[in-house]
């Protein structure tokens, strides 16, 4: 395979411009995801402060309300669709991931038969 042993390395060798574009898009998506997490965190903190100022809010109720809200946090679907953490794995992580997914794919194929 052109002197490379991994799909990612082969793709980088054959299509360096496309690979650069994908990585650039991934960096933007990663930044967008981080900003989204920061905004969610800030929203939680602001709500805690606001609720804590209410006279009828006990500490027990405050904690219970916040825990309930944490259960309901959801990511916007398009934020995660644009970000693929596999593209950011270092060489060892990618090797492990590739080995595991190859094994699981083979296992799923043999189980389906």
Mean pLDDT on 28-35: 87
What's the pLDDT tens digit per position in 59-69?
777 777 777 77
Instruction: Identify the pLDDT of residue 17.
Output: 93
Q: Are 4 and 13 in contact (CB under 8 A)?
A: yes
Instruction: Identify the pLDDT of residue 81.
Output: 63
The better pLDDT of the pair 90, 30 is held by 30
The better pLDDT of the pair 54, 30 is held by 30
* CA neighbor of 87 nearest in space, from 15, 34, 9, 17: 9
């Amino acid at each position: 395979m052109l002197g490379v042993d991994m799909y990612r390395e082969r793709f980088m060798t054959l299509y360096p411009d496309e690979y650069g574009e994908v990585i650039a898009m991934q960096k933007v998506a990663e930044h967008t995801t981080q900003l989204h997490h920061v905004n969610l965190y800030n929203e939680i903190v602001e709500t805690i402060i606001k609720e804590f100022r209410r006279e009828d809010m006990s500490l027990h109720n405050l904690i219970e309300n916040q825990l309930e809200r944490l259960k309901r946090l959801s990511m916007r679907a398009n934020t995660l669709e644009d970000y693929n953490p596999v593209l950011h794995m270092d060489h060892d992580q990618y090797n492990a991931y590739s080995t595991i997914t190859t094994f699981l794919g083979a296992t799923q194929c043999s189980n389906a038969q």
